[in-house]
Amino acid sequence: MKVKTPIPREKGFDKTLSLIKEGFHFIPRRREKLGSDIFETRLIGQKTVCMAGEEAARVFYDNDKFKRKGALPKPLKKSLLGEGGVHEQDGEAHKHRKRMFLAMMTPERLEDMKRIAVEELDNKAIEWGKKDEVVLLNEIQEVFAVAGMRWAGLPLKEEEIKERTQELVDMVDFGGSGVGSSAASFKKGVSARDSHEKWLQGIIKKVRAGKLEVHPNTALYIVAHHTEQNGKKLDLKAASVDLNNSYRPLIAAAYYIAFGVLALHENPEVTDKLKADKDNYSQMFAQEVRRYYPFAPAMAAKVKKNFEWHGYKFKKDMLVVLDLFGTNRHPDLWENADEFWPERFKDWKESPFAFIPQGGGDHHAGHRCAGEWMTVMVMRSCFKYLTENITYKVPEQDLEYDMTRIPTFPKSGLIISNVKRTTASPVDLMLHEQSQTVVKS
Site stretch for ligand HEM (CB under 6 A), options 14-22, 233-241, 243-251, 342-350? 243-251
Contacting ligand HEM within 77-116 (CB under 6 A): 86-87, 98, 101
Give whichever of 299 and 419 is closer to ligand HEM, judged by the CB atom. Answer: 299
Give whichever of 87 and 196 is closer to ligand HEM, judged by the CB atom. Answer: 87
136 by DSSP, 3-state: which?
helix
Q: How far is the CB of 390 from ligand HEM (least distance, A)?
A: 22
Is 374 an interacting residue with respect to ligand HEM (CB under 6 A)?
yes
Element (H, E) at 319: strand 319-323
Q: How far is the CB of 290 from ligand HEM (least distance, A)?
A: 7
By CB under 6 A, name the one of 245, 327, 328, 381 that touches ligand HEM.
245
Q: How many residues bind ligand HEM (CB under 6 A)?
A: 25
Give whichever of 8 and 408 is closer to ligand HEM, judged by the CB atom. Answer: 408
Q: How far is the CB of 38 from ligand HEM (least distance, A)?
A: 18
Nearest to 66 by CA among 367, 371, 370, 352: 367
By CB under 6 A, name the one of 24, 199, 221, 247 that touches ligand HEM.
247
Q: How far apart are the C-alpha atoms of 294 and 297, rounded to whole Å? A: 7
Q: What does DSSP say about strands 390-393 and 415-421: parallel, antiparallel, or unpaired?
A: antiparallel
Is 373 an interacting residue with respect to ligand HEM (CB under 6 A)?
no
Is 259 an interacting residue with respect to ligand HEM (CB under 6 A)?
no
Contact status, residue 172 vs residue 193, Cβ threshold 8 Å = no
Going by the DSSP 8-state scheme, the letter that residue 434 receives in this structure is P
Q: How far is the CB of 281 from ligand HEM (least distance, A)?
A: 20
Is 296 an interacting residue with respect to ligand HEM (CB under 6 A)?
yes
Q: How far is the CB of 99 from ligand HEM (least distance, A)?
A: 10
- Residues facing residue 208 across a β-bridge: none
Is 294 an interacting residue with respect to ligand HEM (CB under 6 A)?
no
Site stretch for ligand HEM (CB under 6 A), options 210-218, 308-316, 325-333, 361-369? 361-369
Site stretch for ligand HEM (CB under 6 A), options 122-130, 294-302, 346-354, 430-438? 294-302
Is 295 an interacting residue with respect to ligand HEM (CB under 6 A)?
yes
Q: How far is the CB of 247 from ligand HEM (least distance, A)?
A: 6
Contact status, residue 298 vs residue 178, Cβ threshold 8 Å = no
Alpha helices (H) in 226-303, listed in sequence order: 236-245, 250-266, 269-276, 281-292
Nearest to 164 by CA among 258, 105, 251: 251
Is 345 an interacting residue with respect to ligand HEM (CB under 6 A)?
no
Q: How far is the CB of 132 from ligand HEM (least distance, A)?
A: 29
CB atoms within 10 A of CB 388: 18
Going from the C-alpha of 359 to that of each of 35, 309, 322, 370, 432, the distances in angstroms are 24, 21, 9, 10, 31
Site stretch for ligand HEM (CB under 6 A), options 129-137, 224-232, 341-349, 353-361? 353-361
Is 150 an interacting residue with respect to ligand HEM (CB under 6 A)?
no
Which residues are within 8 A (CB) of 268 and not within 5 positions of it... i.e. 6 or more apart?
A: none
Q: How far apart are the C-alpha atoms of 116 and 136, rounded to whole Å? A: 18
Phi, psi of 416 (to 5 degrees): -120, 150
Which residues are within 8 A (CB) of 38 and not within 5 positions of it... i.e. 6 or more apart?
A: 3, 4, 7, 49, 50, 51, 56, 310, 312
Phi, psi of 265 (to 5 degrees): -65, -40
CB atoms within 10 A of CB 21: 13
By CB under 6 A, name the one of 15, 67, 367, 405 that touches ligand HEM.
367
Is 435 an interacting residue with respect to ligand HEM (CB under 6 A)?
no
Q: How far is the CB of 114 from ligand HEM (least distance, A)?
A: 12
Which residues are within 8 A (CB) of 191 and not within 5 positions of it... i.e. 6 or more apart?
A: none
Is 234 an interacting residue with respect to ligand HEM (CB under 6 A)?
no
Q: How far apart are the C-alpha atoms of 124 and 426, rounded to whole Å? A: 12
Is 67 an interacting residue with respect to ligand HEM (CB under 6 A)?
no
Is 253 an interacting residue with respect to ligand HEM (CB under 6 A)?
yes
Site stretch for ligand HEM (CB under 6 A), options 207-215, 252-260, 277-285, 347-355? 252-260
Give whichever of 333 and 370 is closer to ligand HEM, judged by the CB atom. Answer: 370
Interacting residues with ligand HEM (CB under 6 A)? 86-87, 98, 101, 245-247, 249-250, 252-253, 256, 295-296, 299, 357-359, 367-371, 374-375
